Amino acid sequence: MASEQHLSAIKGAKVLMVGAGGIGCELLKTLALSGFKDIHIIDMDTIEVSNLNRQFLFRQSHVGESKAKVARDAVLKFRPDISITPYHANVKDPEFNVDFFKQFNVILNGLDNLDARRHVNRLCLAAGVPLIESGTTGFLGQVTVHVKGRTECYECQTKPAPKTYPVCTISSTPSKFVHCIVWAKDLLFAKLFGDKNQQNDLNVRSSNVSSSSQQTEDVFERQIDEDIEQYGRRLYDHVFGYNIELALSNEETWRHRNRPRPIYVKDIIPTELIHENGDLDKDSIIGDSSVSAMATLGLKNPQDLWSLKENSKLFFEALKLFFLKREKEIGNLIFDKDDQLAVEFVTAAANIRASSFGIPLHSLFEAKGIAGNIVHAVATTNAIIAGLIVIEAIKVLQNNVKDYRMTYCLEHPSKKMLLMPVEPFEPNKSCYVCSETPLTLEINTHHSKLRDLVEKIVKAKLGMNLPLIMHGSVLLYEVGDDLEENEVANYAANLEKVLSELPSPITGGTILTVEDLQQELKCSINIKHREQFDEEKEPDGMILFGWTQALAVEKNYNGASTSQATSLNTEEDEELQFIPTQIGKKRKLSDNFITASSDNSCIPKETKIKRKADEVDCNNGNSDYGREKMEQ
């Protein structure tokens, strides 16, 4: 039985939940059954079929509806006397500002991405409202408490960074299937179906051009009146045949590597079979109205391991269906692991490339998991973590600071325990978010533009959504709906200027003030001019110091994005080694910890256990074919 003090704290509390997925469903149920009377929920997602195996508040009839609203209605059926306010919206929307956060006694996070987590952390700091973070992946999970001035904030500790590969590895010398997935998804798929103006490393010209005018044509473009089968063969021979032969011409590259073999259509599928490839009379619509090449080819089991010939047929059929059924979307498509046809195309292309390089083939089920970074979820872990969140929330509401615990749910017992409680860190004095420690940026001020600084540093690394950049009293950049037209034009012009040529030049020794008014976050950046950067190791052409980032950790399930280096899954699914010294013992940044060279995280000198870092992108509750992030 809860004490009167507990009941009083619970009934009088106003709680904000961010996320109504895997953990969110369990959490809302637990809050309601624990006596909480005023609960608000923010979630921008709608319900998918893949959610239904563990997000128990949802049913088949709810597919396509708002998670937050359906969760509210479901809980009110067994707790009609409480108030639940749903918001089908993005927590980063302007309406959810600091004043909005100030009305709550505690914030409970169940988000599925690092960017939103950082945003909520900053709003909680600005509003002075305690934050309880959580995350699960499989049998692992954790709950952490963040109270301004008393414990570390969410960004005090390093966050796991994605494994990155140089483009040369992805485009020329793949050695793992994940390399082939990245190539198929972020290079080939993007080149064929995405933004045509986007730079892409597949811009290699065909070997059979006969004139300078033909030589300037993009071989990936379908020619006017070109038969789709003819286009498919030309494309197949180019990327899997000619490009491989071109790579083989560099003998030095293959001196210590296995040589790939070029693959041409004629060697795999006779021309007449390509024409007979798929049966469009068959139902090509499966599941959630997705066009499917598998359906037209009669391939039924996504866990089957298809041969090179079958993958080649799937490649041609998927390509044909994109042009026959979804031609209007071509030029604007972005890979989505819930897009059946996109997954089929990427699986087929990755397997053909893998075959060329002597890499084992994978089933569509496996390929989808890698491409979408899908991590299998366990409903029981979500329930355990939801219960721990409520326990910590009650402690926070009672201001029992000495009883706060960061609790880790383990897959295997440690010291005969599956739940490992640890006292929180004290605030990190070098954290630029909660301690306002200045940052240092090494950058070539004569070559880099203000746009590079904004996109690569201010937004990508510092996580600011509506940044404002000042040099002394001069405002160099600002975004917002209240700007005049001339101001918008002026700031847009500044973006294209080299740093040293701005109205108030940025050079070595300059101190910039960067601020996000929505997050009420301000930090200083000391500029240090540097002439040269290593293109492989420092692809951004700039390095930020004082910003907590872990070294990359490679996992089996990764997504990717492409720039000069290709990143395997942004924040989603990296494991961080994190070890409490003794159960219940106070952990301080200054003692008992050393910096691990392997992952740049803080590792105590004593016994080690593994846990998933709370910054891991946790899925709002999807199944094997669910969202690409981990359950959160």
| Residue 152 near residue 602, CB atoms below 8 Å | no
> Which residues, other chains included, contact 70 with Cβ-Cβ below 8 Å and sequence gap of 6+?
47, 57, 58, 62
52 is in an annotated binding site: yes
67 marked among binding-site residues? yes
Among 393, 387, 424, which Cα is nearest to 130's? 393
**Annotated binding residue at 43?**
yes
Rounded CA separation 471/466 (Å):
17
* Residue 222 annotated as binding site: no
Q: By the 8 A CB rule, do 307 and 259 touch? A: no
Three-state DSSP string of 483-524: CCHHHHHHHHHHHCCEHHHCCCCCCCCCEEEEEECCCCEEEE
Ligand-binding site membership of 431 (annotated): yes
Query: 195 among the known binding-site residues?
Result: no
394 marked as binding residue:
no
Tell me if 617 is assigned to a ligand binding site: no
Q: Is 202 annotated as a binding residue?
A: no
Find the catalytic residue in 25, 124, 168, 180. 168
State how far the Cα of 28 lies from the Cα of 40, in Å rounded to an integer: 10
**Identity of residue 493:** A
149 annotated among ligand-binding-site residues = no
Whether 618 is a known active-site residue: answer: no
Helix (H, G, I), strand (E, B) or coil at 607: coil
Angle of helix 308-325 relative to helix 340-356, nearest 10 degrees? 140
Q: What kind and span of H or E run contains 561?
A: strand 560-562
Distance from C-alpha of 568 to C-alpha of 230, rounded to nearest angstrom: 34
8 Å CB contact between 47 and 63: yes
- Does residue 419 have a known ligand-binding role? no
- Contact partners, residue 601, CB within 8 Å, separation at least 6: 157, 158, 160, 550, 576, 577, 578, 595, 613
The response to whether 54 counts as a known ligand-binding position is yes
Residue of 196, 42, 194 lying closest to 123 (CA atoms): 42
Ligand-binding annotation for 23, yes or no, is yes
Nearest by Cα to 562 from 155, 220, 203: 203
Q: Is 115 annotated as a binding residue?
A: yes
- Residue 12 annotated as lining a ligand binding site: no
Amino acid at 565: A
Name the one residue in this structure whose structure tokens are 């933004």: 195
Longest dimension (CA), the chain: 87
* 35 is an annotated ligand-binding site residue: no
Q: H/E/C letters for each residue in 145-207? A: EECCCCCCCCCCCCEEECEEEEHHHHHCCCCCHHHHHHHHHHHHHHHHHCCCCCCCCCCCCCC
Residues with a catalytic annotation lie at: 168
Residues making up the annotated binding site for ATP are: 19-24, 43, 51-54, 67, 112-117
- In the annotated binding site, the residues are 19-24, 43, 51-54, 67, 112-117, 153, 156, 431, 434
Q: Which residues are annotated as a binding site for Zn(2+)?
A: 153, 156, 431, 434
